[in-house]
A = this chain, B = another copy of it.
């Protein structure tokens, strides 16, 4: 899976006439080793611990490339931080976001997706992407 994403990204790089660099390798390895939903800030700070020379702009630009290449996706939970989640081929999930502790759970629901399609159809609308987030308290925070 890691390997597949590395290939996807290097193919993307090659196809775009971009270069394979030490920084991009480092950032990709790190990104693939992280849990989901890290913000750019978090990613940068954790990376910097091991690679102090890496610049914020480089991390920023590289994550954008990941998103462009399809191995990552930008998401926003309304806290003013852009987060990056891993994209797995053919899989889509939505989120439960705990507004107290920030925990994020994922879920999939085929019925909801189907209903979305029906709604879009009735409006003549063509869905490209969608965003479904449930905000509230996770089991722990409900005490």
A binding-site residues for B, Cβ under 8 Å: 76, 78, 96, 98-99, 105, 107, 109, 111-112, 115-116, 119-120, 123-139, 142
Contacts and interface: CB of A to CB of B under 8 A. Distances in A.
Contacts of A134: 116, 119-120, 125, 127, 130
Contacts of A127: 134-136
A43 B131 CA distance: 26
Contact of A78 (B76, B96, B98, B107): B76
Contacts of A76: 76, 78
Copies in the complex: 2
Closest 5 A/B residue pairs (Cβ): A124-B139, A128-B136, A127-B136, A126-B137, A126-B136
A134 B127 CA distance: 6
B128 A137 contact: yes
Given A76-B78, A125-B134, A127-B135, 5 more contacts: A96-B119, A99-B128, A112-B112, A130-B132, A130-B135
B115 A109 contact: yes
Nearest to A132: B132
Contact of A138 (B109, B123, B131): B123
B128 A131 contact: no
